[in-house]
A = this chain, B = another copy of it.
């Protein structure tokens, strides 16, 4: 059985029994098509950009949006252009713009007070906090992951999750207790061993896990993120690089899995010998920022076994993949792992940062993983509304249907324009295709935008699709049509 079959599954088989309701919309009042009346960015965006640039580094700003007029899958900019948004604020808008249920969440006086009275959640949580966490984050926890830490964003979720893995690793070395020696207590205050130990996190080339200094030491997708910033001496393994189309390269790709897994073990042993043992392994289920690089379920299964063998924590970073875009709430659920990962981090579509843990990864004494806010109740009340809509509107199956429209449409375009695009890959609507080169990729993204489609790049040559969960098959067809126009016009 080919291990990557799910990534490569043919779109057709899903259409046989699924009647698509192309006319219906999950967001009443949504625009019916993109409308572009100025170049994007237009004159108003450019004027605002000049203003913002007087006090910020704003070279990354693409346009200024009108969030009063944006709705559903359509982002409206200040120049009045109506853009079909398949990028959704770097994959962070599960219900698109101005979803009525999210707005409704802010109508109640109680929720308004929750926004205004932001507590130090680790010290003075609100009366309804345990129930709110149970009804939201815990209700969609991966199987057998019984513990939860809330945070603010993806970077600090990973950073703190590393700490949980370091603490667990050291606690195991102490025989399961946290009886610190006086020497440990004193030496850690000046960053010296034994209190501040040499311990490492193994990460993969092409990965993105955030930009704070610990997270950045495990990020290896683009030099602009890293250059000039000090880092930890931690091991970096090769992430499998497959040949596409997958079904024509089974053997090579299988060998690639084996090579990469062997390297992981070599690195763990090497760092152990260096006196800097690996306390945890972090990996994305799909390397997103790095180019939507997929690995086989087999690879993830074996990696879990290796982590277990060396008593390293197994952390799956679902910051970009979590919350439904792959058709399951958590992408790693596609992998049939023997047991759940030890830690799963999230942010973006979940509104709040945070992570699930197996309970043995919780610190056994308080204040070790802690900060002033420990998350934000405002985000939980929005998440509450979002999860209710995901359930009510069966959005995970919408994702699957729309994903098939996109995958099948992109494969058709690959056949029509083989010199221009290739290597379509994805799960659900979490999809990327490659352009023939970096220049063409940038050109495709730019010309899609002029036709009213907001997409994004990833890796060197990838065009990244990250639509909302309310992105329906008709939006998928509209996207494919626009892309076909762009490719047909390519000289």
Contact = CB atoms under 8 A, between A and B. Distances in A.
A196 interface: yes
Contact of A106 (B116, B138, B160, B220): B116
Contacts of A58: 122, 366
A103 to B, nearest CB: 6
A65 B126 contact: yes
Contacts of A12: none
B130 A48 contact: yes
A129 B89 contact: no
Given A59-B366, A155-B156, A231-B196, A120 B372 contact: no
Within the oligomer, what is the number of copies of this chain?
Answer: 2
A113 B126 contact: no
Interface in A120-153: 120, 122-127, 129-130, 133-134, 138, 146-149, 152-153
Nearest to A385: B116
A417 interface: no
A97 to B, nearest CB: 5
Interface stretch (A232-240, A399-407, A470-478, A482-490): A232-240
Contacts of A261: none
Interface residues of A, number: 126
A23 interface: no
Contacts of A271: none
Given A155-B371, A212-B214, A371-B155, A67 B113 contact: yes
Contacts of A54: 146
Contacts of A93: 117-118
A113 B92 contact: no
Interface string A94-116: 00011100110010001011111
Contacts of A369: 57, 211
Interface string A202-231: 000100001111110100101111111111
Interface in A169-199: 169-171, 180, 184-186, 188-191, 195-199
A120 B66 CA distance: 13
A70 B117 contact: yes
Per CB-CB distance, the 10 closest pairs between chain A and chain B, nearest first, are A59-B366, A213-B214, A191-B231, A159-B212, A67-B117, A170-B228, A60-B366, A185-B223, A89-B120, A188-B226
18 contacts: A56-B148, A59-B365, A64-B125, A65-B127, A89-B123, A92-B120, A103-B113, A159-B212, A162-B213, A180-B223, A180-B227, A189-B220, A195-B227, A196-B227, A210-B371, A211-B371, A212-B212, A213-B213
